[in-house]
Amino acid sequence: MNMDDTMVREALKADMDAKGIDLDATQSILADLNAGLYDGITAVEASGVPPVDGVSIVPASAAMSYTVPVSVARERLAAFGLGLPPGAVVNGAIATLDRAALEDLGERLYPVTAWGVLNGGSATSYADSKKNGSIGPGVFDAVQVGFNLLAPLCEGKPKGVTPAYVNPDGSPGESFLILKMRAALLRAARYAERFGKPERPALPFFQMTSDGTDAQLTEAYARYASHPWIAPLIALSGTDPTRPRSARQPLLAAFTHSSEGKPRRIFDKAYGRNDSAIALPGGHGQSFRVLASIYRNLLADGYRYAYIGNVDNVGYYPDPAELAVMALSGAEAAFEFSWRTPVDIKGGVLVTTTDGRRTVADIGQAISFDRVKALEAAGERVLFNCATGLFDLTRLVPRLDDIARRLPVRVSDQDKDSGRYSQAEQSTWEVVGLLDAPLGFAVEKGERFIAAKLLAETVLASGAVVASGVAAGTVALPADVAATAAMMSQGLRAVLAGPCGLRLNNGVWVPA
């Protein structure tokens, strides 16, 4: 390994190696950073927010419908050996499908659809007290009992295997991954029930892990294979998500904070300890490179569509209505968005740029939070990225190398319990700006975006401000956050009782 000892001491190298950090990749990015290669990557200049027009951005609520020329629909569906579903209403040359008809059609596409998660992150930032404290004045105080319950269960673990909710009796719930696997398996089992077992597994699971999470995830999946929420559905559907197609993302080291000036160095004082680095994924945008072989193999194996989403969103699971619209529209990709709420402070927003294109700008990295607030003050309803994408593999696979090369690398400062440092990341969702005509789905946050960028959000969505022991009224949430928390809590209950097939029994969620 060719590394400059004047920049990186042997003790720091040993620490980086022990933490699974890719030393060569880190040095390469650091050299490019100090050479100014990322200086031209500026904040996104947002001129406004795209409208929900029913064409380029399709409302995807319970009242969802989609209209398409009959000839176009028949031609596109013929590629799958399908026709218009019985529920489609044909009026002359136009066909209209309501959500029931779209779901009927989309369920028939399960055997040509895979779903995956971005599973490389640990729960470090998620349970960081400084980050959680930034959610808003008074909020952290209101959720602190629930936070203290779950935080120890997150330490040093992949986020996906940590509790996704708190039961009404105050006990920790099942993990994000258990919920996702169960929701997808119920859909695969429904296909087998309606049409018989397909020639290839319906809705197979794939993932991007990291060197920091892969081993623990493998251990968790070995346990999940016999989990009572999962095992019977594996047998029924013929699909086994505990044996995923998997690829590992390399870990990078954090760099020094911008306040320390240039040249940047590898950050070496994690938690105040000398020669101690911080291991970080290089952003989920690396997935287009890391998962390239998986996408190519899925296409070769007969899969046409691939969902990808963040593991921490309980509302993310394969939606048959969206699949149907993808097939009918011929779109190369689709992404979910919901109206931004007060707790949506970490993630991306959909904007129109000054050159008329659309992209997802990550708050803090690509667009300032002040600019987001200014757009809202000007009357815009900002669409927040739900971190869920749906790709047509016949269109994605030929562009994988180009996308991996063109996604910008953004360097942002961080101030966390572990120290003040900077990190280099590629955001998955800036791919929107690289596509010619991406489709958007405007979803209800309480149905499809019950995300938990911060542990405080998991507590809020669980209704655990009261359930975990804080007497009602003792610590009041700010009114706008309280309204969002009520909506998220209602949505979580609906997802658990609906897509996840659970019911409440003495204050604990169990299989229905």
Q: Is the pLDDT of residue 320 over 50?
A: yes
pLDDT in tens, 146-169: 888 899 998 889 999 999 999 998
**For a pLDDT cut of 90, what percent of the chain falls above it?**
55
Is residue 17 assigned to a domain? no
In DSSP notation, 471-506 reads: PTTTSPPPHHHHHHHHHHHHHHHHHHHTTT-EEEET
**Where is pLDDT greater, at 365 or 367?**
367
Q: Is the pLDDT of residue 460 over 60?
A: yes
Tell me if 183 sits within 8 A of 499, measured CB to CB: yes
In this prediction, residues 41-66 reach a mean pLDDT of 84
403 Cβ contact partners less than 8 Å away, ≥ 6 residues apart: 288, 431, 434
In this prediction, residues 183-189 reach a mean pLDDT of 98
- Give SS3 for 264: coil
In this prediction, residues 171-180 reach a mean pLDDT of 96
Rounded-to-integer distance, Cα 224 and Cα 221, Å: 5
Average pLDDT, rounded, for the chain:
89
Q: Check residue 74 and give left, alpha or beta (phi > 0: left; psi -120 to 50: alpha).
A: alpha
**For a pLDDT cut of 70, what percent of the chain falls above it?**
95
In this prediction, residues 209-232 reach a mean pLDDT of 94
> What CATH number does residue 216 fall under?
3.90.550.10
Is residue 23 assigned to a domain? no
**Where is pLDDT greater, at 492 or 122?**
492
Q: Is the pLDDT of residue 472 over 60?
A: no
CA distances 224 to 159, 182, 217, 231, Å, are: 16, 11, 10, 8
**Where is pLDDT greater, at 450 or 113?**
113
Is residue 168 assigned to a domain? yes
Which of 298-307, 342-351, 445-454 is predicted with the least confidence, judged by mean pLDDT?
Answer: 342-351
pLDDT in tens, 416-444: 889 999 998 887 888 998 998 899 999 99
Domain that holds residue 455: 43-250+282-408+425-511
Is residue 257 assigned to a domain? no
Please, what's the b/e burial string for 40-75 (b: 16 or more CB within 10 A of its CB; e: otherwise)? Answer: eeeebebeebbebeeeebbbbeeebbbebeeeebee
In DSSP notation, 38-78 reads: TTT-PPP-EEE-----SSSEEE-STT-EEEEEHHHHHHHHH
Enter the DSSP assignment of 238.
S
Tell me if 36 sits within 8 A of 262, measured CB to CB: no
Q: Check residue 307 and give left, alpha or beta (phi > 0: left; psi -120 to 50: alpha).
A: beta
Is residue 10 assigned to a domain? no
pLDDT in tens, 392-403: 999 999 999 999
Label residue 473 by pLDDT band (50, 70, 90): very low
Label residue 469 by pLDDT band (50, 70, 90): very low
Is residue 415 assigned to a domain? no
Is residue 262 assigned to a domain? no
Domain count across the chain: 1
Label residue 369 by pLDDT band (50, 70, 90): confident
- How many beta carbons lie within 10 A of that of residue 35, not counting itself? 10
Label residue 502 by pLDDT band (50, 70, 90): very high
For 242-261, what is the HEC assignment? Answer: CCCEEEEECEEECEECHHHC
Tell me if 250 sits within 8 A of 25, measured CB to CB: yes
Is residue 265 assigned to a domain? no
Pairing of β 94-98 and β 65-69: antiparallel
Rounded-to-integer distance, Cα 442 and Cα 106, Å: 18
pLDDT at 53: 85
Q: Is the pLDDT of residue 470 over 50?
A: no
